[in-house]
Chains A and B, each alone.
Chain A
Amino acid sequence: MSAVAATPGRPATTLRVRGTYAPYLLSLPALAVMGVLLLVPLAMTLVLSLHSFGMYTGISSDYALANYVDVFTDPYFGEIFLRTLRISLCTTLLAAVLGAPEAYILHRMSSPWRSIFLLVMLGPLLISVIARTLGWAMLLGATGVVNQTLIALGLIQTPVEFMYAETGVVVALAHVLMPFMVISVWAALQKLDPQVENAAVSLGAGQATVLRRVVLPQIMPGILSGSIIVFALAASSFATPSIIGGRRLKVAATLAYDEFLSTLNWPLGATIAVLLLAANIVIIVGCNRLVERRYQQVFQ
């Protein structure tokens, strides 16, 4: 304060000049990290995907769209991309259907239980992906706990094929990605005016009507943004589909991995990776636009 008073005018100008550069200077380290660790490898992957590959010649340094033409024309790749989309959509749906009510119940819990169950819910994120997925493999196998129980109860005669099937992958993915949905819905619930439910009741609404007409529409943005996160993570997930789905049930991420490390066809693997990223970006940005346009006038 006294320094400013002693030299009126000058400190303010210096501050303003420094102020214009400061944000850029301050974000430089983060930008450098992002650039070196993310943008450069991405660009290199993109370049790699344009090269061609021969069984005996290896990677040549030409530029062509041959790999992209291959992926788009071969139904083998089409099926894998379609499966990836199907698994991601089913996972998102399951996570939303189970996660939104879970978040609401958590939200209504009283204080000691709320934090305990929040921790339980975050559990999957605290366990290594391999341990967790192998756990699911033990549960879902032909002689696993789930099948044995169902047979013992007489509900089925022969074991259900969870392993090496889309159902198993969806169940395991929904489990691990659930916390992202719950946290997203939870954030939306925190913004809910606690009196709003009472207001609806006072106007004659029953509990089910309150949930459907008052709570659900208000947490819909949370469900949708949670869905975007879950979808993106499910579509690019690798460990869960590779263990539960095995080598037979390929998805885009495991396909790219196999092209890189088994076939050693790096350019094709890069092409698949680029296409997966592009598809993910298109779907996520599109959904986000939709959400923002739909809810913009209502909230904010």
Chain B
Amino acid sequence: MSFLTIERLTKVYDSITAVDGISLDIERGEFVSLLGPSGCGKTTTLQMIAGFVDVTSGRILLEGQDLARVHPARRGLGIVFQSYALFPHMTVAENVGFGLEMRKVNRADRDRRVAAALQLVGLSAMADRYPKRMSGGQQQRVALARALVIEPHLLLLDEPLSNLDAKLREEMQGELRDIQERTGLTTILVTHDQAEAMALSDRIVVMSKGRIEQIDAPEAAYQVPATRFVADFLGRTNTVEGDCAGAAVSVAGETWTVPGGAPAGPVHVAVRPERVTFAETGLAGTVRKRVFQGSQWYFEVESVVGPLAVLAPNGRGRVPAVDEAVRLTWSADDMRVLPREAVR
């Protein structure tokens, strides 16, 4: 029995199916991300676990107990909301202590635990401030401390970092992972940011249109996407058409020997932009666009098989200019071959 089990969970609003029979098992101490574009059902799933949205059908079991029979106030979940949802009329310490007050923890214990939680998020000096007088990052930490102080069974994070600027977001990602590892808390993160999901999670659950597309470790989902949607959503992917005969895959006259082979017939070949390299021989093309991105160069190349995106690390050899004729290739290990009819 897993720590948290979701069984054929479905949510239907009037005629729209927001979540379409998803099943998922989460182990104790795991950090799992629900990843997908807006409207994919990830937030609805989180809200059903939290109890803010009624379940149409299916079950959610936490440590074997059906959550349908537990009132949202008694589920003992720590939740960090996208807007932080701090109580603006309470100081930081009162915000963090609210959950303990509801649990009738006595004053001395409460003060001690609030102080410990604020220490954990590095806000000890700001206990008496009001949330409106704090930066976004600080409010975010208060929300985290408030969720952690009640020692929840499960931590739910609803796009907690999406309102922060890029640098702060990266910093908070590291801290979040750090705190999660120290407390060993089972955590579910909802996000549309694939980089965030990959940086934080043990496993990611890629969702689209209310269904689960893939559940896998971040590297595995990135390297071996189960569907074309996952391939496109987890970073950029070039998809070109080719043909397969035994172990040989050919694209516009170039042939690769794919280990293990693939089903014979017309195929789609997916290659990540960073795996495509400029070479002496290979697919012919012309550079249409060149963008310097600091650590790397980004190219759009019009090739014989259509437009291809190429990422090349900065400082490794000569950089082709716009309108220059180039040849592109990639190694057989870097291509993912999918039968054409199976591609969604």
Contacts and interface: CB of A to CB of B under 8 A. Distances in A.
B29 to A, nearest CB: 21
B130 A204 contact: no
A198 B78 CA distance: 11
Contact of B73 (A196, A205, A214, A217): A205
A201 interface: yes
Interface stretch (B2-10, B81-89, B256-264): B81-89
Interface stretch (A9-17, A225-233, A254-262, A292-300): A292-300
Contact of B89 (A199, A209, A217): A217
A297 B130 contact: yes
A297 B132 CA distance: 8
B73 A204 contact: yes
Nearest to A295: B89
A203 B146 contact: yes
A73 interface: no
Contacts of B81: 195, 198-199
B88 A298 contact: yes
Contact of B130 (A195, A217, A298): A298
Given A199-B79, A203-B150, A298 B73 contact: no
Given A195-B81, A199-B87, A299-B88, 9 more contacts: A193-B85, A195-B82, A195-B85, A198-B72, A201-B73, A202-B79, A203-B102, A218-B87, A297-B133
A218 B73 contact: no
Interface in A190-224: 193, 195-196, 198-206, 209, 213-214, 217-218
Given A203-B150, A204-B74, A217-B89, A198 B102 contact: no
Contacts of B242: none
B52 A198 contact: yes
B77 A202 contact: yes
13 contacts: A193-B83, A193-B85, A199-B87, A201-B72, A202-B73, A202-B77, A203-B98, A203-B102, A204-B103, A205-B102, A206-B73, A217-B89, A298-B89
A202 B53 CA distance: 13
Contacts of A209: 102
B50 A202 contact: yes
Contacts, number: 68
Contact of A218 (B79, B88, B98): B88
Q: Please name the 3 residue pairs, one residue from A and one from B, whose CB atoms are nearest each other, closest first.
A: A203-B99, A204-B102, A195-B85
B150 A204 contact: yes
Q: Which of A202, A209, A218, A298 has the most CB of B within 10 A?
A: A202
Contacts of B88: 218, 298-299
Interface string B121-154: 0000000001011000000000000110010000
A213 B95 CA distance: 11
A297 B134 CA distance: 12
B150 to A, nearest CB: 6
A84 B87 CA distance: 39
Tell me the interface secondary structure of chain A in the complex.
Answer: helix
A200 B98 CA distance: 8
Given A193-B85, A195-B83, A299-B132, A204 B99 contact: yes
A300 B132 contact: yes
Nearest to A207: B73
Contacts of B146: 199, 203
B150 A218 contact: no
A209 B89 CA distance: 15
A162 to B, nearest CB: 39
Contacts of A213: 98
Interface in A241-300: 297-300
Interface string A158-196: 000000000000000000000000000000000001011
A222 B111 CA distance: 32
A193 B79 CA distance: 15
A204 B75 CA distance: 8
Interface string B47-58: 000111000000
A200 B85 CA distance: 9
Interface in A69-97: none
B93 to A, nearest CB: 14
A214 B154 CA distance: 24
A198 B133 contact: no
Contacts of B83: 193, 195
A217 to B, nearest CB: 4
A292 to B, nearest CB: 15
A200 B147 CA distance: 11
Contacts of A206: 73
Contacts of B133: 297
Given A203-B99, A204-B103, A196 B87 contact: yes
A217 B78 CA distance: 23
Contacts of B86: 196, 199
A196 B139 CA distance: 14
Contacts of B78: 202
A214 B78 CA distance: 18
A300 B133 CA distance: 8
